[in-house]
Structure 1
Amino acid sequence: MRRLLWLLPPVAVLVVFFGYPLALVLHQSFVADDGSVGLANWHDVLVSAEFQRALGRTALLAVAATAGCLVLGVFLALVIAFAPFPGARAVSRLVDVVLAFPSFLIALAFTFLYGSAGVLNAVLGSGSVDFLYSPWGVLLAEIAFYTPFVMRPALAAFSQLPGAQLDVAASLGASPWRVLRQVVLPDALPALASGACLTLLLCMNEFGIVLFVGAKDVITLPMLVYTKAIVTFDYPAACVVAVVNVVFSGALYALHRWVFAKGAGRAAVDAA
Structure 2
Amino acid sequence: MNLYAIRSIYIFELSRTWRTLFQSIASPVLSTSLYFIVFGSAIGSRMQSIDGVSYGAYIVPGLILLTLLTESISNASFGIYMPKFTGAIYEVLSAPVSVLEVVIGYVGAAATKSVILGLIILVTARLFVPFEIAHPFVMIGFLVLIAVTFSLFGFLLGLWADSFEKLQIVPMMVVTPLTFLGGSFYSIDMLPPLWRTITLFNPVVYLVNGFRWAFYGIADVNVTVSVAMTVVFMLACLGIIWWIFRTGYKLRS
Q: Which has the larger radius of gyration?
A: 1
TM-score of the two chains, using structure 1 as the length reference: 0.33
TM-score of the two chains, using structure 2 as the length reference: 0.35
